[in-house]
Amino acid sequence: MPERPRTVATHCPYCALQCGTRLTRERAGVAVRPDADFPVNQGGLCQKGWTAPAVLTAADRLHHPLVRRGGRLRPTDWSGALDVIADGITRVRRSRGADAVAVFGGGGLTNEKAYLLGKFARLALGTSQIDYNGRFCMSAAAAAGGAAFGLDRGLPFPVTDLGAADVVLLAGSNPAETMPPLMRHLGAPDLVVLDPRRTATAERAALHLQPAPGTDLALALGLLHVAVTDGLLDRDYVAARTTGFTEAWQAAAGWWPERVERTTGVPAADQRAAVRMLADAERAYVLTGRGAEQHSKGTDTAAAFINLALALGLPGRVGSGYGCLTGQGNGQGGREHGQKADQLPGYRSIGDPAARAHVSSVWGVAPADLPGPGRSAYELLDALGTEDGPRALLVFGSNPVVSAPRAAHVADRLAALDLLVVADVVPSETAQLADVVLPVTQWAEEDGTTTNLEGRVLRRRRLQPPPGHARSDLEVLHGLATRLGQPGHRYPTTPKEVFEELRRASAGGGADYSGISYERLDAGEALHWPCPDEAHPGTPRLFLDGFAHPDGRARFAAVEHRDAAELPDARYPLIATTGRVLAQYQSGAQTRRVPELVAAAPEPFVEVHPDTARRAGLVEGALARISSARGTALARVRLVGTLRSDTVFLPFHFPGDGRANLLTGDALDPRSRMPEFKVSAVRLEPEVRA
C-alpha cells in the first residue's frame, strides 16, 4: 500500500523573512506551497522559496563523509571521518595550543546548532577562535543598534506594522529582489529609497536618492542637518527619551545640503523632500540594509540613520520606528547564541563576568574555563595557517571561498591549513578544498527553531529523513566532542533537548528565550523575544515603555563622515559595488543547483552605464575584466542607463573567475569589524581570449 502524503508546516530556508510554508511529500518529490496564515509572507513566496525543494535532491548532494587521500576526496564511513578529524585536532592542539583550532559558523544554522557550536568551540575545543559569516551581514547595524537602544533586534516591531505606514525610508536595501514577499507590506507606504542603483525597489519609490557608493554617512548627516534647520526636530521626544543630541548635532552641523550634494551627488532639494516626507507622516519608518552597512564605516553610518530616526521621534512608538533588514535565514538567532567571537548565549558579552558566571553554571564548568573573545570573521580567515594563527578550521554552514572579502587570499589561507573540515549539504567551493567533508541535513530533514528579522521564534519541522548517510550538525558535534574526551550528555543530539538548555542559558540576557518552548510554538503562539517566562506573551514591539539602557533613554551618536578606505584613482577610476539578485542567494551554493534559478541568472554579470562601457571599449553582452588592486573578475556586460557613470555593480553569488569578492579588500569597520564590500576601486576592460 503506498505511503500517504505527509504535510508539515515549516519555513523557507533562505532569507530572514522566514516565510511560512507547507511541505508535502509526494511521489514526484517534495511539494511546497506558501502558508496563507503566516503574517510575514501572507501567502506569498519568491522564486527561491518556490524552488527550495530542488536542493534536497541536488545531483551532487553529499551522501557520505569524504576524506582526502592521495589528493582526492574519497568516501569513507562516519567513524573513520570523525576519527581523522579528532586525531588532527588533537595533534594541532598538542603542538600549538587550543587557539590553533578555529570554528567558522553560519547565519543559516538553526538556533540549536548555533548554540551548540559555540558551546563545542569553547568547551570541547577550548578555543576563543570562533566567528561566523553573519559578521559580513549584520554586524554594523547590530553594533549601532546596541549602542543606541541598549539592545539589538533587526526589527523591534512586527513586519506587518510596515503596511500601515505612511512613509518608509530604505537606506541601502532592495527588498523587491532580495526579499520579494516583504513588498506586500511596502505597497501602501510612500517609499524613499537611497541606493546608487535604480533597483527594482527604487522603481517603486516616490523618491529615489542616488548617492555615490561610500557616501551614505555624509547623506545621513545631511538629512539630520535638514531635520534641525528646517524646524522638523521633535524636541519634546528628544528631551524626554534620548541623550547625546547636542554632540550629534555638532557633528552634523557642518553638513548643510549643498555640501552634501557635492559629496554624494544627491540634490539638496531631494534631501529636503525626503526629510519633509518623514516628518509630515503620522507613521514613518527608517530601515537600513547592507548597502549602507557593508563599509569600513558601516557602524557609524547605521548610527547616523538612527540619529535621524531619533530626531524625528520615531523609535519606540507604535506605528513608527527604526529597523534593520536582517539578511540571512537565521541571521537574528545566529548572532544571539554564541557563535560570534565576543558573545555568549542570550546576546551576552563574553567579557562580562556576570555573563560568564551564568553561562558556565548552565554548562557545568567554572567561569575560568571559558576562553575570552577571539578574532572577528575576516581577521580569523586572514590568520589561518600563519605562525600565530589557527592551523585547523571547522566550517559549518558557510562558503567563505566565495563569500569572504579578498576571496583569492582567503582561499590561499584555507589551503595553508593542516586540517580543514567542512560540514555542508553540497560540495561547495570551500568543501572542495577540505581534508574532510561531512554530509549534513537540510531544512526539510530536521527539527529546530529559527528567529526571523522581527525577533519571532519559529519552528522548523522535519518532513523526511536525509539521504544516504547524512547526519545532523548536532550529531556531528556530539561525535567529535566525545572523541575529544567530553561527556556525551553535554552535547545533546535532539533539537528539543538543546533548545531547553538554550532557554536556561539565555535567561536574563538581552535575547531572553527562557519563556519560549516547543510546546508553545507548536500550539501556534506567536512569540517574539524577550520572553522571560512561560506566562509572558513575548515582546513583538520593543522600547514602547523605554529603551534598554539603565536610564531608559536612547543614545544619539556623534559620528563624522570619512572617505571609504579606497578611492578611485588614475589606475582604478571606477567604483565597484556588490549585492544580490532575485534568482540567487548568498554564495550561490544552494541556488546554483536549482535549474529554474540557473536559467534566470546563469552567470556573472557587471552592470555598466553605456557611456562608461563605450569609453572602455565594451558593448552589451561582451565579456569584461573588472580589476582591482586585489585581483580580476570576469563578467558579462549589461548596459544600464540609470546607473551612475562612476559605478559598476556585480552580484556576489558566482564562483571561480566570476567571484565579485576577488575585487573586495580587507578594510574593516573599527567597531563591528564589518568588511568594506560596497566600495572597491576598479578598472574595466575587454577580456581578450585567444
In order, the DSSP letters of 94-131 are HHH-GGGEEEEE-TTS-HHHHHHHHHIIIIII--S-EE
Domain ranges within the chain, ordered by starting residue: 6-57, 66-136+330-493, 139-325, 574-686
Q: Which grid coordinates belong to 376?
A: 572577528
| Sheet arrangement for strand 101-105 | 72-75, 66-69, 436-439, 419-424, 392-396, 101-105, 130-132
Q: What is 6-57's CATH number?
A: 2.20.25.90
CA 256/CA 266 separation, integer angstroms: 12
Burial class (CB in 10 A: 0-12, 13-18, 19+), 234: middle
Q: Which of 314, 15, 338, 324 is nearest to 144 (CA)?
A: 324
Question: What percent of the chain lies above the pLDDT cut of 90?
Answer: 98
Determine the longest span between alpha carbons in the chain, in angstroms: 77
CA 638/CA 566 separation, integer angstroms: 25
Cα dihedral sign, 35-153-516-361: positive
Phi/psi for 555 (5° steps) reads -110, 125
The pLDDT of residue 646 is above 60: yes
The pLDDT of residue 4 is above 60: no
pLDDT of residue 2: 44
- Give 690's pLDDT tier (boundaries 50, 70, 90): low
| Domain 66-136+330-493 belongs in CATH node 3.40.50.10440 | no
Q: Which of 674, 659, 673 is nearest to 628 (CA)?
A: 659
- 100 touches 385 (CB < 8 A): no
The pLDDT of residue 3 is above 70: no
The pLDDT of residue 336 is above 50: yes
Q: Which grid coordinates belong to 297?
A: 564605516
- Count the Cβ atoms, other than its own, within 10 Å of residue 215: 22
CA 301/CA 221 separation, integer angstroms: 9
CA 118/CA 274 separation, integer angstroms: 43
Phi/psi for 191 (5° steps) reads -100, 135
CA 352/CA 369 separation, integer angstroms: 14
The pLDDT of residue 68 is above 80: yes
Enumerate residues 6+ apart whose C-beta is below 8 A from 361. none
pLDDT of residue 28: 86
Distance of CA 626 to the CA centre of its chain: 26
Q: In the beta sheet, which residues pair with residue 294? A: none
Q: Which grid coordinates belong to 657?
A: 573567475
Q: What is 574-686's CATH number?
A: 2.40.40.20
CA 280/CA 293 separation, integer angstroms: 27
Q: Which of 443, 439, 447, 494 is nearest to 467 (CA)?
A: 439
- The CA–CA distances, whole Å, from 685 to 202, 568, 650 equal 29, 16, 15
CA 597/CA 583 separation, integer angstroms: 5
Q: What CATH superfamily classification does 139-325 receive?
A: Dimethylsulfoxide Reductase, domain 2 (3.40.228.10)
The DSSP call for residue 466 is P
Q: Can you give the C-alpha Rg of the chain in angstroms?
A: 24
- For residues 304-332, give the mean pLDDT: 96
- Quick check: pTM over 0.85? yes
Place of cell 578529524: 85
- Give 233's pLDDT tier (boundaries 50, 70, 90): very high
pLDDT of residue 1: 38
pLDDT of residue 5: 56
Segment holding 254, helix H or strand E = none
Q: In the beta sheet, which residues pair with residue 102? A: 393
- For residues 666-685, give the mean pLDDT: 97
Average pLDDT taken over every residue of the chain: 97
Residue 520's SS3 state is helix
CA 247/CA 249 separation, integer angstroms: 5
Query: DSSP for 623-676?
Result: EEEEE-SS-EEEEEEEE-TTS-TTEEEEES---GGG-GGGT----B-TTT--B-
- For residues 194-200, give the mean pLDDT: 97
- Give 71's pLDDT tier (boundaries 50, 70, 90): very high
CA 391/CA 343 separation, integer angstroms: 23
pLDDT of residue 580: 95
CA 407/CA 189 separation, integer angstroms: 39
